[in-house]
Amino acid sequence: MSITQILLSYLLLIIAVIALLTYWITRKFVLRKMNRTIMKAEHNYQQQIANLQMQLSGKVNMLESMVEKLRLSNQELNRLNEIRSKFMSIAAHDLRQPLSAIQGFTSVLIMDRNTTNGGGNNDQKALNNILKATDNMNMLMADLIDISRIESGQFKMDKQAFNFNALLNDVVALQNVSAQKKGIFLQKYEYPQEVTVVADRFRISQVINNLMGNAIKFAPQGGRVEARFYVQDNWLTFKLIDNGPGVLHSEKDKIFQKFHQSDVDRTAKKQGWGLGLSIAQEIVQAHGGEIGVESAGLGQGATFWFTIPLGA
């Protein structure tokens, strides 16, 4: 073998070694770097997918929230439409009664005056009935005005210190007239101490008058209504107990809603919008108190109560 062939053989061997070395270096460093780059790109891609999924989930939740709000808004609109329809029906019915009474008794007065040339024996009776009809209309209008003030946020309380015992005596004396006409025994339990409350005296009397008037209206002939109150831990609790038709369990949550009128005693003459208890609830809550009703069921009577702080 010539020297040229030997040198060529060594040269080829060196080239082969360099090629193998280059391959090894490439595989060890370049490919590893490529793998790292690929893994990093894959990680970034997965992170982007995760971020997009989170954004999509947020959008979906937002969309679901908007759909729920829309559903609730539609429900509220339906409820308001039902209230509006019910109100129009009640208003037309309840305002027609006193207006018809005024018209009828005025006609009696005119006829009586024409036939007797100067007024007859029915004058005073007709005038009294006209006065009752106008009083009824005034009460209906007062309830509407109160509800309007509540809805507009203008239902304000004029809180001043007053004697609660004296207030209750005044309300019982007023309501006792209606109670005696129905033969209902209205009893007030005396509290052993004078109690001073810082609250709106007119509005608190309005609450008690409403509760007591309802109890007398729905109590059976010869029934019993008891009013009592006590003080504990700087809170006053008032209770009105009757032996009337009671309150259905299903109505306990509805009875303080606007325009709600109980169907427990369908024989009772309904007078009013069904706003009295709703207004009473607003008054008590405006004083920082609570109001509620307890009843064992039909025919078991009911106990209406409210609590207010002495320093409301």
Our measurement of the distance from residue 95's CA atom to the centroid of its chain's CA atoms, rounded to an integer in Å, reads: 26
Number of domains in the chain: 2
- Could you tell me which residues come within 8 angstroms of residue 45 by beta carbon, excluding any fewer than 6 positions away? none
Q: Which structural domain, as residue segments, surrounds residue 289?
A: 160-309
Instruction: Give the Cα separation of 204 and 7 in Å (integer).
Output: 121
Question: Which tops the pLDDT comparison, 172 or 268?
Answer: 172
pLDDT of 120 > 70? The answer is: no
Query: Does 79 map to a domain?
Result: no
Contact 278, 203 (CB under 8 A): no
pLDDT of the residue at 198: 94
pLDDT of 237 > 60? The answer is: yes
- Same domain, yes or no, for 179 and 224? yes
Give the CA dihedral 300, 168, 170, 277, nearest 10 degrees: -50
Question: Which tops the pLDDT comparison, 254 or 305?
Answer: 305
Find the mean pLDDT for residues 255-275.
Answer: 58
Instruction: Give the Cα separation of 15 and 24 in Å (integer).
Output: 14
Q: What is the mean pLDDT of the chain?
A: 77
Question: Which tops the pLDDT comparison, 2 or 54?
Answer: 54
Give the CA dihedral 204, 208, 209, 215, nearest 10 degrees: 160
pLDDT of the residue at 166: 93
Closest CA to 143 of 307, 296, 259: 259
Least confident of 7-16, 48-57, 71-80, 122-131: 122-131
DSSP for 5-59?
HHHHHHHHHHHHHHHHHHHHHIIIIIHHHHHHHHHHHHHHHHHHHHHHHHHHHHH
pLDDT of the residue at 267: 44
- Same domain, yes or no, for 180 and 147? no
Query: Does 38 map to a domain?
Result: no
180-236: per-residue pLDDT in tens? 888 999 999 988 899 999 999 988 988 998 899 888 888 888 889 999 999 999 999
- Same domain, yes or no, for 177 and 128? no
pLDDT of the residue at 268: 47
- Same domain, yes or no, for 169 and 232? yes
- Same domain, yes or no, for 138 and 185? no
Find the mean pLDDT for residues 171-178.
Answer: 87
Find the mean pLDDT for residues 251-255.
Answer: 76
Q: How much is the pTM?
A: 0.59
- Same domain, yes or no, for 167 and 288? yes
pLDDT of the residue at 212: 92
pLDDT of the residue at 308: 94
Contact 144, 94 (CB under 8 A): no
CATH code of the domain containing 213: 3.30.565.10
- Same domain, yes or no, for 147 and 164? no
Report how far apart, in Å, the C-alpha atoms of 162 and of each of 100, 126, 217, 228, 307 are: 41, 39, 28, 18, 16
Q: How many CB atoms lie within 10 A of CB 130?
A: 19
- Same domain, yes or no, for 212 and 229? yes
pLDDT of the residue at 226: 93
- Could you tell me which residues come within 8 angstroms of residue 169 by beta carbon, excluding any fewer than 6 positions away? 188
Instruction: Give the Cα separation of 223 and 218 in Å (integer).
Output: 9
pLDDT of 51 > 90? The answer is: no
